[in-house]
Structure 1
Amino acid sequence: MKTVTRSYDSYARARAAVEAIEKAGIPSSDVSLIASQHMSPEQERREPSDAATGAGIGGVVGGGVGVLAGLGLLAIPGLGPVVAVGWLAALAVGTAAGAATGGLMGALIGAGVDEEEAAVLSEAVRRGGTLVTVRVPEDEVGRVEGLLSIHRPVDLVAQAATWRDEGWKTFDPEAPASRPTETESERKRREWRDEGMGKQA
């Protein structure tokens, strides 16, 4: 099995990507979504319960069908409260069978994601993004990547380059999560950059 990941700066795009993946026949058990708690304003705001902080999913905060029906608030070590569901979320909080420690970056690396990419993906969530992760057989990788790309994921190479220009080095689990105003500013800046690149093309 291969792990395919994409980061989105719109929760709606990430949700649409998950729904497209499930409609294509990928089992819900192989799909995961992890979002900043500030990413989806339509979700009910709740503090994570003691159970969520320590281990599992808190109260359901949003829905849909398939994997999204189980979406809830939980606390991931190094990130704090997030809206999440799925196998990668279980690994990140250390509740899945065989999970040695919690943490999104460690879970991604354990799932076969390159360490540098895992750091950027984790930072993207910390800064307000939504991560969609899918486990698929090797012969399905191209099809899944195509479906996820339709919903306009973030260009992580360009994003990481921008962060490094600003002094970012790697994901820091001790760093505080971005506040809603910072998250919105980050999103608008990406949109302006993308629009500028589109005009140049």
Structure 2
Amino acid sequence: MTKTATGLFDDYSDAQAAVNALEARGIPSDDISIVSNNVDERRTGDTNAAEGAGAGAGIGAAVGGVGGLLTGLGIMAIPGVGPVVAAGWLAATAAGAAAGAVAGGAAGGLIGAMTESGVSEEHAHVYAEGVRRGGTLVTARVEDSLYPEAEAILRRSNLVDPTERRAAYTEQGWTRFDETLDPYGPTQIEQERLRYRR
């Protein structure tokens, strides 16, 4: 039986550290995913992979990263979030769900992919909104016995507490992730990062 350990990070470097630590623990790259807002294009290096971003765009060419999962990062677009750098099973599931979604259907690809993997819908909306606001989502599918250790690895890398973040978003009038809203721009994302920086 597998469980999904999930963490939202305000800083990409923290998420990258978490992915590296999960891989170092022996969790296969195939069982780890990363989805990171790419509005500022800092994570694509000197490639032109962003040209592939668009509605229904698949996971693209390899960009950046040091090894394992991070060497397979590609660009895709998520409604309401905009271009993201993504790799792994969750990104592939989200892209497939988004491409197959019909108007008026189930929740968007990212939320659907998370809830299918065992993330509560309440947390999935916070995580999707967190990515919209400039964050990075890391997920790892692990055996039950390894789940506590995977969660501990994510916590050591400065993950966001989804309950606290939901409360902060709610204070601003937020209720749930809405894919029909415009993606955050660079200025809005920088304001979000400064608001939560420790």
Common fold, TM-score beyond 0.5?
yes
User: In the alignment, what sits opposite 1:199?
Assistant: none
1:76-128 C-alpha deviation (Å, 9 max, x unpaired): 344331100000000111179xx964610111011111111111110000111
Matched, 1:177 2:179: no
User: In the alignment, what sits opposite 1:49?
Assistant: 52
Q: By how many angstroms is 1:75 displaced?
A: 1.6
Aligned match for 1:92, one of 91, 94, 99: 94
Figure out how many residues of one structure are paired with residues of the other and give that number: 189
Question: For the Cα contact (< 8 Å) 2:37–2:82, is it kept in 1?
Answer: no
Q: Helix, strand or coil: the match of 1:93?
A: helix
Q: By how many angstroms is 1:154 displaced?
A: 1.3
* Mapped partners of 1:62, 1:53: distance in 2: 23
* Mapped partners of 1:57, 1:158: distance in 2: 31
Percent of paired sites with the same residue:
46
User: In the alignment, what sits opposite 2:10?
Assistant: 9
1:5-26 C-alpha deviation (Å, 9 max, x unpaired): 0000110110010000000000
User: In the alignment, what sits opposite 1:24?
Assistant: 25
Q: By how many angstroms is 1:60 displaced?
A: 2.3
Aligned match for 1:72, one of 63, 71, 74: 74
User: In the alignment, what sits opposite 1:153?
Assistant: 159
- Aligned partner letter, 2:13: A
1:169-196 C-alpha deviation (Å, 9 max, x unpaired): 10101111111111111111112xx5xx
1:29-53 C-alpha deviation (Å, 9 max, x unpaired): 0000000013662533653427x64
Give the TM-score, by structure 2 length: 0.87
Give the TM-score, by structure 1 length: 0.86
Q: Helix, strand or coil: the match of 2:96?
A: coil
* Unaligned 5+ runs, structure 2: 102-107
What's the C-alpha RMSD, in Å, of the aligned pairs? 2.1
Q: By how many angstroms is 1:135 displaced?
A: 0.3
- Aligned partner letter, 1:188: L
* Unaligned 5+ runs, structure 1: 195-201
Q: Helix, strand or coil: the match of 1:60?
A: coil
